[in-house]
Amino acid sequence: LSGDINEEVDTHNRMLERMGNDMDASRGVLSGTMDKFKMVFETKSSRRMFTLVASFVVIFLIVYYLTR
């Protein structure tokens, strides 16, 4: 019984380690995305374009959920 418990603990530890590595990779991707957003918001024309695109996305989602 203790051998089975040891196997289960080892399996969970490996799973948690992989999950931690995946979270670190996600954090790196997210920080890169945030850097790109900061760069977009630095210029007024880019900010205006982003607002326009975001508005279209929101309107699309509202229409989608209303027709669903």
Please answer whether residues 52 and 59 qualify as being in contact, where contact means their C-beta atoms are separated by less than 8 angstroms.
no
Give the model's pLDDT for residue 61: 92
Whole-model pTM: value is 0.45
Q: Measured over all CA atoms, what is the biggest interatomic distance in the chain, rounded to whole angstroms? A: 66
User: How does the average pLDDT of the chain come out, rounded?
Assistant: 84
Q: How far is CA 65 from CA 8, 23, 61, in A?
A: 44, 31, 6
Could you read off the pLDDT of 11-33 as tens digits, one per residue?
999 999 998 888 888 887 788 87
Q: What is the pLDDT of residues 40-59, one digit of tens each?
A: 667 667 777 788 889 999 99
Rounded-to-integer distance, Cα 5 and Cα 41, Å = 53
Helices 44-67/2-41 angle, 10° precision: 120
